[in-house]
Amino acid sequence: MSRSPSSTKIEALPWHTLAAVEIAQRLSVDPQTGLSVSEVQRRTNAYGPNEILEHPPRSLWWMFLDQFTDFMILVLIAAAVISGIIGEPLDSLAIVVIVLLNGVIGFVQEFRAERAMAALKMLVPRSARVCRGGQTMTVPAAELTYGDIVLVEAGDLVPADLRLFETSQLRADEAALTGESVPVEKHTASLTTVGLPVGDRLNMAYKGTVVTYGRATGAVIATGMASELGKIAGLLQKEEAVQTPLQKRLTRFGQRLAFAILAICLFVFVLGVFRGEPAVLMFLTAVSLAVAAIPEALPAVVTISLALGAHKMVKRNALIRRLPAVETLGSVTYICSDKTGTLTQNKMRVEQLYANGRLVKECGQGETEGEPWHLLYQAMALSNDATGNDQGKVIGDPTEVALYRAAREANHDKEVLTLTSPRLGEIPFDSTRKRMTTFHSGQEGVMSFTKGAPEEVVDQCDTTLGESGPTPIHKEAILECAEQMAANGLRVLGLAFREWPHMPTVLSPENSECQLTFLGLVGLIDPPRKEVWDAVALCKTAGITPVMITGDHPATARAIALRLGIMTDGDEVISGQELAQLSLQEMEERVKHIRVFARVAPEQKINIVKALQEKGEFVAMTGDGVNDAPALKGA
């Protein structure tokens, strides 16, 4: 029977730095048989269910009452009560009507927005496949606990934070959690650096991310609120709403007005009594003066104005959750934006091609006719696991979908090519070789295409394909071009081929991925949205400073920021690791001079927003990932 792991903060261990054997020992579990049912129950009782806790939604009643907590509204309510007591029912009724009108308008706007926002909540996996007592079974994801051995495959949502034991070509889409544009290739080897960002922990899979390719087995090392997703939820719950400039000014105005009215009424009361007027009469006079001096229509006028502004914003596809935010938009001095899916299309595209010593930026143009371009497009189409369906949609890994589309635009449709050059076999990709090879029937035998990391593909090439056939290869020039493309934020792949008289008897990397002829390089990127460049320019014209805060790599972030005009060549890009080494004071000093923050964690996004706010800036935040939520709430 397995023992429960120590109750010491188990989730605080640097799991990505530990070897598989040590992990099994720490978790007191046999990776082959998993936990027993009784041990699962004990651990669940000790650590709790694998659930993300959240505050219960506000009831409609409390949402309505919340409209009456503003200081000016409280003053008006007091004035209505006093008016009723001193025998001025019409004044009292008028004030009550205005207060209720203000409350109803605010409630209706917030109610609609809350219902719309509820539809945007991320779905979490409901079930998981686990190995328990030597048997594979499907259980509710909420019942997972520390040490459970979980099996995931393409299409699954990862049900808890896992340290991977076994992987088979595993790739996971972590965009919502880290901002990474493309699925991340995973492995099982332990890593040496303790303080790695989440996106660089390649032997881990995280709750709520999506497996896009392959399969894996891993041990649960964090559940519920202890998972990375849970930590973000915790930050979101801790983060308090910030008062808008209008709310601050109205509160300050209300306090000053109340003080001034009380002072004047006290002066009138004392002066009247001093002159010999009856004290009761002077008290009623002072109260009447106070009620008359209160601008009871002000809150209603402000609320109606903001509601009209919110209505105009809805027409521009912007949903206003809280009315004061309408005014805040006019006071914004900084806009902090996520990159993936917000500034970019969240859709990979082939940006550049390199072959025969030439770099071109448009696929399918006249300058990519003939060889080696013809065979390069053929390799992009055939050495590809993406497929098209009857509706014209391409399904598969985002990188392979981009290659499929680029080849099709150049009149090399995979579905057509497969009819004459069907796949005969393959050597799958793995994280050690960093390449894959497919074999296809050709006109005079068999042709293999190899695709992968440029340095790994080039290393296996003896020649390169020119216009008239193979020529001597200049590996340094090719790798230099690949490095330049990567420095511009592109994801670079190398492609090569080899002709065979017949299908190789043994399909192994040693026999089949050698003596290759280099075809070319393909550079891919998640391109910026077309409308963003104009939006950035407009913000700068209006005196608003745009800032990019992303979990993606610094080189990719810099490339996109330069294209959009968010930064210039001389501006600095700072990473999350560098940011973590700064003191709070140093961060507040530097934050106003940095335009791109890359590889940052969710809590660092909050700190950036708060540092700007401490400097007196009014900060807006935009993003579409789970990792953006805490900063969105704090901005």
Give the model confidence (pLDDT) of 596-622 as tens digits: 999 888 888 888 988 998 888 888 888
Q: Report the 10 Å Cβ neighbour count for 9.
A: 8
pLDDT band, very low/low/confident/very high, at 545 (cuts 50, 70, 90) = very high
CA distance 163 to 147: 10
If you average pLDDT over residues 65-81, what whole number do you get?
74
pLDDT band, very low/low/confident/very high, at 117 (cuts 50, 70, 90) = very low
- In this structure, the dihedral spanned by the alpha carbons of residues 290, 295, 297 and 302, taken in order and rounded to 10 degrees, is -140
Please, are residues 188 and 165 in contact by the beta-carbon 8 Å criterion? yes
Residue 409's closest CA among 431, 381, 428, 375?
Answer: 381
Q: Which range (269-273, 514-518, 627-631) has the least confidence?
A: 627-631
* Residue 338 appears among annotated catalytic residues: yes
Concatenated DSSP letters of 15-46: GGGS-HHHHHHHHT--TTT-B-HHHHHHHHHH
pLDDT band, very low/low/confident/very high, at 383 (cuts 50, 70, 90) = very high
What is the tens place of the pLDDT at every residue in 80-112? Answer: 787 677 677 776 787 787 778 777 766 776 665
Q: Which amino acid is at 98?
A: I
Contacts of 167 (CB under 8 A, 6+ apart): 186, 187, 188, 214, 215, 216, 431
CA distance 544 to 620: 10
Q: Which pLDDT score, from 0 to 100, does residue 406 have?
A: 93
What is the tens place of the pLDDT at every residue in 491-521? Answer: 999 999 999 999 998 889 999 999 999 999 9
Q: In residues, how long is the chain?
A: 635
If you average pLDDT over residues 205-226, what whole number do you get?
91
Contacts within 8 Å (CB) and 24+ apart, 20-27: 20/165, 20/188, 20/190, 23/163, 23/165, 23/219, 23/221, 24/219, 27/146, 27/147, 27/219, 27/221
Domains of the chain, earliest start first: 10-48+124-236 (2.70.150.10), 60-119+242-315 (no CATH), 332-345+529-634 (3.40.50.1000), 349-525 (3.40.1110.10)
* pLDDT higher than 90, residue 375: yes
> Tokens 């007027």 map to which residue?
277
If you average pLDDT over residues 376-385, what whole number do you get?
94
Q: What backbone phi and psi angles, to 5 degrees, belong to 543?
A: 85, 15
CA distance 135 to 262: 77
b/e sequence 413-445, b meaning 16+ C-beta within 10 Å: ebeebeeebeebebbebbbebebbbbbbeeeee
Q: What angle do CA 159, 223, 54 make, to 5 degrees?
A: 95
Query: Active site residue: 148, 156, 200, 338, which one?
Result: 338
Contacts of 609 (CB under 8 A, 6+ apart): 336, 619, 621, 631, 634, 635
CA distance 320 to 386: 40
Query: CA of 546: how far to CAs of 36, 179, 331, 534, in Å?
Result: 53, 18, 14, 12
- What is the reported pTM? 0.67
Peptide bond into 372 cis (omega under 30): yes
* pLDDT higher than 90, residue 41: yes
Q: What backbone phi and psi angles, to 5 degrees, belong to 478?
A: -65, -45
Q: Which pLDDT score, from 0 to 100, does residue 484 have?
A: 92
- In this structure, the dihedral spanned by the alpha carbons of residues 8, 10, 14 and 17, taken in order and rounded to 10 degrees, is 110
For the chain, the straight-line distance linking the first and the last C-alpha, in angstroms and rounded, comes to: 50
Strands 210-222 and 423-430, by their bridges, are unpaired
